[in-house]
Structure 1
Amino acid sequence: MTSFTDVEVLRYTAFSSDPAGGNPAGVVLDASGLDDARMLAIAAGLGYSETAFLTEELEPGRAYTIRYFSPFAEVPFCGHATVATAVALAERNGQPGDLVFETPAGTVPTTVTVADDGVYRATLTSVEPHVEEIAAADLTEALAALDWPAGDLDPALPPRIAYAGARHLIVAAGTRERLADLSYDFDRLAALMRRLDLTTLQLVWRADPTTFHVRDPFPVGGVVEDPATGAAGAAFGAYLREHGSVPDEAVVTLHQGEDMGRPGVLTVELRAGERRIRVSGTGARIPDGSA
């Protein structure tokens, strides 16, 4: 637990069972007495890409309203903080099972299971997704901010903006080396993302038909790069289905955080006849005194 005077702030990692991997999130299980300024101050003080706040218990132990703050601003939905919160609730209540989170983006059902070795795993179901074109001038500006030549992209996976609770620009690199070389203009990319209402860029490289390596710049949240991004994973699942890049029934594996030294794995599931995307991953408490 991290102390913020009278507020209990838990720290969990999502999309890894190793506290040193995945994406760390702050979790406040009782934020009923906090206003927006206080929640933003806690998120900024913690410094993680997002902190989740349960602002109301709608059904004891099962349904909650939840809000998410980066160090800079509130975001409508955050996948890794949802996974972290679900695992924290399951550990606190001793009840793995079904949860419902009412987020600013909509209702997100989440299920927590625990394996024989004690590892917790959470699966969230996204809100209704959609995919849209990006204007040529906006794509040119994004590539300029990234310092990525257009010739370095994968022509089989054209850039698109995808939404599954938050908006993400998906850009596919042609090689793993291109993806690994990420040194971008923070302010320039942030300005474009604010104008297009983007939460992250989802930069991807396809290793095989259902395996991808991904990276997510997050300058609008005050973070250079997000280590594991569940909301973007859900949006990417919607993109893959819309583009016909995977079958209607598919399980896609995303490897994220390797280039940051915080490896994590996201599982993205598409089901035939169902538009919403499932994203799952393990989670673990970060011990006090750890980074």
Structure 2
Amino acid sequence: MNAVSVYHVDAFTKDPFAGNPAGVIPDARNLTLPQMQQIANELNLPESAFLMPSVHPEADFRIRYFSPTVEIDFCGHATVGSSWLLATELGWLEKGRRIVFETNVGLIPVQLETEDGKLKRVQMTQITPSVKEIDLNPVEVARMVGIQTKDIDDRYPIKLASTGGLHLLVPVRTRAAIDQAIPLQSELGAMNREHRITTTHLFTWDAQEGYDLYTRDFAPAIGIPEDPVTGAANGALAGYLALEKLLPVGEKHHLVVGQGHAISRPGTLYITVETSSKDPVIHVAGEAHVTIAGQLRVSAK
């Protein structure tokens, strides 16, 4: 039997048992892809990240992400969790203030933000955002995500957006409507698989004090009924806001996004949107807490 170090890191929160839990395996060089999938299934967390050496000259690590059922191309909260673990537990902060991950969608640089010599936040720069149309009836969308048609905020378009994974963005008028949503998981999952959508992401500007936006995220197509606090989807949302000109062009915008409150795993994302260049630049930052550290025993290949 081989022992593999494994960590449970709660991302986008300072506290244990809040935010979005990620499995992090900091040395996966001797694991096969089927073993990675089996481990992710065993951990049964929204996503697990597996780090290994990279041959890319600009990358510090190759990172792969798995939900309990499938490999996904990019995961924001597992990137934050991996960066936090490297910096606080594995000595990376002594080497520098930057980590670059090679992912399936490209290079993801992470900046380690410190205060008084201690890690304050990690900030990842996601790949260039994009949006595209999708032909869906808002009435059907409302039914599948479990809200009333009148709850859809028709001031904003329902669109697909991406900073690495494809997310269906659904504008909602109130936080209460988002909290009360009861999605039809089977139908929503089938629709997402049909359109190769990773998650369906509800958002509203009707956020509680201290936040600019409030969101909730469902991902049954990849084996996650609800993703508590979603770095990739909220990054895609920020890109959508910029590309749809819902944020003034030529400025740097700072957004605080709350998610996870509806399922008692509150988390906070600090998003910076730069709109002065041809393509918006999206930075997503947050904190994390290493909640569990241990070893997983796996059979030798």
Fold similarity call, TM over 0.5? yes
Please report how far the alpha carbon of residue 141 of structure 1 lies from its aligned counterpart in structure 2 after TM superposition: 3.9
Residues 278 and 145 (structure 1 numbering): CA distance in 2 closer, same or farther, change over 3 Å? same
Distance in 1 (CA, whole Å) between partners of 2:243 and 2:201 is: 16
2:194 corresponding residue in structure 1: 195
Matched, 1:44 2:33: no
1:71 corresponding residue in structure 2: 68
Distance in 1 (CA, whole Å) between partners of 2:155 and 2:119 is: 37
2:216 corresponding residue in structure 1: 215
Give the SS at the match of 2:181. Answer: coil
Matched, 1:180 2:179: yes
Distance in 1 (CA, whole Å) between partners of 2:45 and 2:69 is: 11
Please report how far the alpha carbon of residue 117 of structure 1 lies from its aligned counterpart in structure 2 after TM superposition: 8.7
Q: Is contact 2:6-2:293 (8 Å) kept?
A: no
Q: Is contact 1:79-1:229 (8 Å) kept?
A: yes
Q: Is contact 1:11-1:24 (8 Å) kept?
A: yes
2:81 corresponding residue in structure 1: 84
Deviates more, 1:230-239 or 1:240-249: 240-249
Deviates more, 1:13-22 or 1:115-124: 115-124
Give the SS at the match of 1:41. Answer: helix
The share of aligned pairs that are identical, in percent, is 33
2:299 corresponding residue in structure 1: none
Distance in 2 (CA, whole Å) between partners of 1:207 and 1:58 is: 45
* Cα offsets for 1:125-177 (capped at 9, x unmatched): 0112100111035x554333223333211122221100101000000111122
Deviates more, 1:22-31 or 1:90-99: 90-99
Please report how far the alpha carbon of residue 246 of structure 1 lies from its aligned counterpart in structure 2 after TM superposition: 1.6
Please report how far the alpha carbon of residue 60 of structure 1 lies from its aligned counterpart in structure 2 after TM superposition: 11
Residues 51 and 66 (structure 1 numbering): CA distance in 2 closer, same or farther, change over 3 Å? same
Matched, 1:257 2:256: no
Distance in 2 (CA, whole Å) between partners of 1:134 and 1:243 is: 15
Distance in 1 (CA, whole Å) between partners of 2:245 and 2:177 is: 24
Give the SS at the match of 1:6. Answer: strand
Matches within 5 A, 1:100-179: 100-116=100-116, 118-137=118-137, 139-179=138-178
Please report how far the alpha carbon of residue 243 of structure 1 lies from its aligned counterpart in structure 2 after TM superposition: 1.6
Please report how far the alpha carbon of residue 218 of structure 1 lies from its aligned counterpart in structure 2 after TM superposition: 1.3
Distance in 2 (CA, whole Å) between partners of 1:114 and 1:237 is: 24
Distance in 2 (CA, whole Å) between partners of 1:213 and 1:190 is: 22
Distance in 2 (CA, whole Å) between partners of 1:146 and 1:76 is: 24
Q: Is contact 1:120-1:283 (8 Å) kept?
A: no
Distance in 2 (CA, whole Å) between partners of 1:195 and 1:62 is: 34
RMSD over equivalenced CA pairs, Å: 2.3
Q: Structure 1: any 5+ residue segments left out of the alignment?
A: none
Distance in 2 (CA, whole Å) between partners of 1:141 and 1:102 is: 38
Q: Which amino acid aligns with 1:207?
A: D
2:286 corresponding residue in structure 1: 281
1:25 corresponding residue in structure 2: 22
Q: Is contact 1:121-1:282 (8 Å) kept?
A: yes
Q: Which amino acid aligns with 2:87?
A: A
Deviates more, 1:6-15 or 1:266-275: 266-275
Distance in 1 (CA, whole Å) between partners of 2:114 and 2:131 is: 34
Please report how far the alpha carbon of residue 58 of structure 1 lies from its aligned counterpart in structure 2 after TM superposition: 4.6
Q: Structure 2: any 5+ residue segments left out of the alignment?
A: 295-301
Q: Is contact 1:234-1:279 (8 Å) kept?
A: yes
Distance in 2 (CA, whole Å) between partners of 1:269 and 1:219 is: 28
Please report how far the alpha carbon of residue 247 of structure 1 lies from its aligned counterpart in structure 2 after TM superposition: 2.2
Give the SS at the match of 1:225. Answer: strand
Please report how far the alpha carbon of residue 224 of structure 1 lies from its aligned counterpart in structure 2 after TM superposition: 1.5
Q: Which amino acid aligns with 1:276?
A: V
